Chains A and B, each alone.
Chain A
């Protein structure tokens, strides 16, 4: 597939045009990536609202009824439920890895086994998150099936 990047003047709208024979899974994946790369979320920190780029989030965790998004070095509260976040962004590299956690697959450096069928995911910022064993088959299917 050829990739062509054309610079346009400020007066013209920026756009991405995909020319393809048919809309395959690969094309869908590119579409999802393009759409998500511009997505931002309202992250609350000390009563200050920050527009948080979706791709900057390493993982999202629910703690005592509140939902927090973790970036490389900061924590923001999100005003949504974890299942709502999962439902909205699961097609955009976010994967439910535990009862109270959704992780960004693009931020996982490596996965290694720990006792009892669970896995530990080391993120690019050095943090480690657990992948519960009940979610491991779904992760394998997701990665091998190229559903993202």
Chain B
């Protein structure tokens, strides 16, 4: 993949992650911290999380075509890096202080990661359907 296409993909990831972090915070926040209120500065946190969430994507970049095995390995590495970076930030700003909160946070990251992967897969499945229909039409025409 060329660097420009990779950058474009990173930007797309950034916006997807930001949206999902927003949704996850809105759903899980009232359960974990029901009385908590935030100022305007809090609006930056999903963006910051989006940036940090996109940063480990560097491990997915490769000029050469990766095999499925290599891709899965890099995806796992990517997830572990994400868990590490986001947990570290959570721990530094005091949101994660106990083992329990760490587990919940790690599961949240995992859920967002799974949702993004699933969403991408569904989009690609739709693309594959279009391509298959186009191929059938071409092959029947000849």
On A, residues with C-beta under 8 Å from B are 29, 33, 93, 98-99, 105-106, 108, 110-119, 130, 132-134, 136, 139-140, 142-144, 148
Contact = CB atoms under 8 A, between A and B. Distances in A.
Given A33-B142, A98-B65, A113 B127 contact: yes
B65 A143 contact: no
Contacts of B2: 134
Interface in B84-142: 120-121, 124-125, 127-128, 130-132, 134-135, 137-139, 141-142
Contact of B127 (A93, A114, A134, A140): A140
DSSP class of B's interface residues: helix, strand, loop or mixed? helix
Given A105-B135, A134-B2, A116 B128 contact: no
Given A116-B71, A136-B127, A143 B1 contact: no
Contacts of B125: 112-113
B68 A115 contact: yes
B130 A117 contact: no
A40 B68 CA distance: 35
A114 B65 CA distance: 13
A interface majority secondary structure: mixed
Contact of B128 (A29, A99, A113, A134): A113
B132 A110 contact: yes
Contacts of B128: 111-113, 119
Contact of A106 (B60, B65, B130, B139): B139
Given A115-B68, A144-B130, A108 B135 contact: yes
